[in-house]
Structure formats: C-alpha cells, structure tokens
Chain A
Amino acid sequence: MQTDDRIKAQLMSARDLERTLDRMAQQILELVDPDDPEAAAPFAFVGMQTRGVFLARRLQQRIKAQEDVDLPVGTLDVTMYRDDVRMRLAQPHMQETRIPFSVTDRHIVLVDDVVFTGRTGRAALDALMDLGRPASVRFLAIIDRGHRELPIATDIVGREVPTLPNEEVRVRVGEIDEVDGVWLVEAPSPDTDDPSRSAP
C-alpha cells in the first residue's frame, strides 16, 4: 500500500484470494483437459510484471497439485509497449521479460492482477505477438475494475468491482508485499490508467 493511500474497503482477504485462485485454477483445468496428458503441452502461463508473475506461479502450483499437470510460466514486462510510456514516465523502470518456451501455436493464459483501461492488456498482446504467434490468448485478472478505454475483455476474472475513477485497487501478494489481499483505496491524485496505481 502506498503511504498516502486512504483505505476505503478490503475487497478480498487472504483467504478470499486463495479461494479465487483455486476457482481460477479449476477454470483453466477445464480448458486443459487433464485426462489427456498430451493436451497440457500447448498451454502456458505468462505473468505480467510485477504481481501477475506471482499469481501465475500460484496458479501453476495449484494445477500441479490438483492434477499433476505442469504448465510452464513466463514473465512479461510491457513497460516499453505501452502507448503512453513516454508521456507517463520520465524514466522507465524495466523488469524481466523471460518466456522460456515458444509462444507459437501455444494457448497462453495471460495473468494480471487488475484490469482497468485495457491499455496494459493491449501492450501485452503486442509484446506476445512480437515473440511469436500464439494459438490463443486468454486474459485472466483477479479484479476487473471497469473504466475500459480499449476493447479488452477478461476471460477469467476473480471479481468485478465497479470503481470510481479516483479510486484504486491494490492487489497484494505475500511474495513481495508480506501480506495477501485486495484493497480498494482512495488515491491522493487520481491519474487514469496509471498502472502503478490501478495494477500494483
């Protein structure tokens, strides 16, 4: 949470987040068809930096635990693919992009924590297409907070939360935040489609 955030509500507890991820793993398994060992091969997760990466890994672990199916996980940083990067950032902060498999002809589950205007999702699609030609891309997000500016839809979503433009959603994961959960906060200076605020 940022120091000047004013918390308005907790949208998910740690337990809620766990249950949401359990359900999402089930939804993915329905696509993968664990009874067909060959079927899992062309599926993979791509977690969007930062928290999408940890969420993708948790989904991978659940699927492995539930059905003993190993799906690979890649990480994707879309900073330089955003159409507004130079307007927004006097200095870009880049993180790792590492996709240790070919995306061509693979069914990709793109994982992010929050979907808001859709610009980050669009950037991720561009970045993926630069790497190859996936068979399909499904978009998974824990929270869909609305206010879309581009026609980007979620295929698997934890919870839809109507929000005000000056509100922000913070998804926090223990791996880097020391706590699990989702909060709705009022930010000090509303900035539409600032990923640092909408998709921490």
Chain B
Amino acid sequence: MPHSSTTLAADESTPLQHRHLLDLSTYSREEIVHILDTAEEFRAVLERPIRQVPTLQGTTVASLFFEPSTRTKLSFGLAAGRLSAETVSLSKSGSSVKKGETLKDTARNVEAMKVDVVVLRHSSPGAPHFLSRRTDSVILNAGDGAHAHPTQALLDVLTMREHIDTFEGLNVSIIGDITHSRVARSNINALTTLGANVTLCGPATMLPAEMEQAMDVRTTTDLDAALDNCDIAMALRIQMERQDEGLFPSIREYHMQFGITPEHLEQHPDLLIMHPGPVNRGVELSNEVVDHDRAIILSQVTNGVALRMAVLYLLAPQREGA
C-alpha cells in the first residue's frame, strides 16, 4: 500500500509543558527538541518570497526592554512580524520606569493593556519570574541579569544541530566571562540536558568555582585544555567596562590567554567557532577567526528569528475559536 500522507501529518510529538519561557533549567530534553524541531520548520518560511504568514494575527506581543539590546529585540520583533502578530515596544529610556515606576506597576499596566505575550529584558535576575506571577500574559525571557537568556541558548543549540549528528558526547567549551554571562548559564542548561559535555574556560576571576558541581560541567583556566578534544568552542563577549573591575589585567593579555586564533583552528581542524555577538574583534576571537568558514556566527543570527518564531508559535495563547 502507498505510504502515508506527509501533508500536515497528525502530530504526536510532545507539546510544551510550560506556559512561559523563563529559564531552560526546568525544560526537559523532549521540550527543547520540540522547540528546535519547530524552529527548523520555520526556517522554510524565512526562505519564501513572502516571509510573512498570518498565523498569529490578533495576538499582541509587547517588548519590554529595560536594558539596551539591538539584535535580540530586532530578532523578536522580526519573528513576531513574520507571524503577523501586533507588536508594541517599550524601552527604559522612553518609559515610565525612568520616572520611577516599579516592575510591579509595569506588570499591572501590561495586564490592563491586554497584552498576550511579553518579551522582557531586565537587569535583575528573576524579573521575568516576578512578572509571570503577576500577569496573565505569557512571559518570554529575553535576558535577565546574569541569570538566563533562554532563546539565545536555544538558537545556539539549533545552530550546533545543523553541524553535528548528536549532542550525546559532544564536547562544547564556553570561553570567557562565565560569572557575568546569562548566555553561558542557559547554554549549560540546554547542552547538558541534551547530553553534551560542557567545559567552562576563562580567567579565574570570571569562573565561578561552584559551577563545576552545581551545573555538572568541567572548568579550566587553560584555553589549550579547553580546546583539547573540543567539537565546538563558544567565545563570550567581554564587557569592556569589566576591565575597570580588575577582573583581567588588560584586553591584550586577555586575548593572548583566551582569544581564539588561526593557530587554534590549525591545531584543531574540526573545531567550530560560535559567539553570541557582537564580537570584539581581536579580543575574544582574532579577526581571521571571525571571518573563517568554521565560524558559524551568522547562522546563529539567522536561526535567531526562526527560533523565536517557534517559541511564539508554541507559547502564544490560542485565541478563542482560532
């Protein structure tokens, strides 16, 4: 008999058990894989001549960015637009937050405006959790303090998945300022849940000692040790203002000890390079490494839109009757 239909095949995959996307630490392997699979489907929409579909018509997505962000905000905005959601945005500079409004007041206003989804970037860890308990809106964490940045981690593992066969036994090294990185924490959650081995590498002042046990990872202050047997190296952006805090002697010295160079690529012919961007050229990565064909940084950006479309598709509330 002929094989079964492939058009809109009845779906038996696991839907998400979560209402919000606050942190990946509570997401199961099945849920993460489900989001990644859905994002892969959405990449097809981005390749069409008209990259917009009416799926989220009537849904309102509010972007509340209390910290500066360019690409995450743009990426969420594009993703919502591609799905035809209505978008409103509020940033710290133009908002009542500057006039002294608390997050609780913001939550009440969001509630009153009948927003379906809130994309929140905030400097305080736990701000999205706080908001999720005080509004009916679905909350998507776009970065809270040094705590979590789940969509960035998901787009990172989505990008990795394009280049690897399995996460089981995959060796990923995250290099840089681990202490202050929400990207690192969310990536560790996603990668270890999927079965990868994670090594954290950076100056001792930027490498929290308790992480090794708490998050089931290996830590080292030696870049060569981190790159040994490593499949994917993810360099984190150094915040230049940290230089004033005495966490590392100088930019030049940081690059000499922790910067990935063409020599590293030569020594490790299969190593792939990632970076959440924007890159400080000549600091985390040499200029040549940024532009190397084994640096998959721009794929991360493209995948960001597809991944955020998937998250919106999966988590935005269903309109009654639709």
Could you list which residues of chain A lie within 8 angstroms of chain B, going by C-beta atoms?
Answer: 1-3, 5, 49-51, 77, 79-81, 83-99, 126, 130-131, 170, 172, 176-179, 191, 194-197, 199-200
A91 B4 Cβ-Cβ under 8 A: no
The reply to whether A94 and B50 contact each other, CB–CB distance below 8 Å, is no
Contact B2 A50 (CB under 8 A): no
Task: Spot the interface stretch: B5-13, B219-227, B288-296.
Answer: B5-13
Residues of A within 8 Å of B4, CB to CB, are: 1-3, 200
What are 10 contact pairs spanning A and B, CB under 8 A?
A1-B3, A1-B4, A81-B53, A81-B54, A81-B55, A86-B316, A89-B8, A94-B45, A95-B44, A199-B7
Given known contacts A89-B8, A196-B9, A99 and B318 CB-to-CB distance under 8 angstroms: no
Contact A79 B2 (CB under 8 A): no
Q: What residues of A have a CB within 8 angstroms of the CB of B134 in the complex?
A: none
If A1-B1, A90-B34, A91-B38 touch, whether A131 touches B7 (CB-CB below 8 Å) is no
Which B residues are in CB contact (< 8 Å) with A194?
A: 8, 10
Mark B40-67 against chain A: 1 for CB-CB distance below 8 A, else 0: 0110110011101111000000000000
Chain B contributes a number of interface residues (CB within 8 A of A) equal to 34
Inter-subunit contact A83/B322 (CB<8 Å):
yes
Complex CA–CA separation, A79 to B123 (angstroms):
39
Q: Which of A5, A50, A81, A91 contacts B41 (CB 8 A)?
A: A91
Helix, strand, loop or mixed for chain B's interface? loop
With a cutoff of 8 Å between Cβ atoms, the chain B residues found around residue A5 in the complex are: 1
The answer on a CB contact under 8 Å between B11 and A80 is no
B176 to chain A, nearest CB (A): 34
Task: Please name all residues of chain A whose beta carbon is closer than 8 Å to the beta carbon of B10 when the two chains form the complex.
Answer: 191, 194, 196-197
B2 engages A196 (CB within 8 Å): no
Asked whether A90 lies within 8 Å of B15 as measured between CB atoms, the reply is yes
Q: Does B258 count as interface, using CB distance less than 8 angstroms?
A: no
- Chain B residue, CB-CB nearest to A174: B2
The answer to whether B37 has its CB under 8 Å from any CB of chain A is: yes
Q: Is B313 an interface residue (CB 8 A)?
A: yes
In the A-B complex, the 3 residue pairs with the smallest Cβ-Cβ separation, listed nearest first, are A177-B2, A80-B53, A200-B5
User: Which chain B positions have C-beta within 8 A of A87?
Assistant: 318, 322
Are B48 and A97 touching (Cβ within 8 A)? yes
Indicate if the CB atoms of A94 and B2 lie closer than 8 Å: no
Q: Does B239 contact A (CB under 8 A)?
A: no
Nearest opposing residue in chain B for A92, CB measure: B41
- In angstroms, Cα B84 to Cα A80, docked, is 11
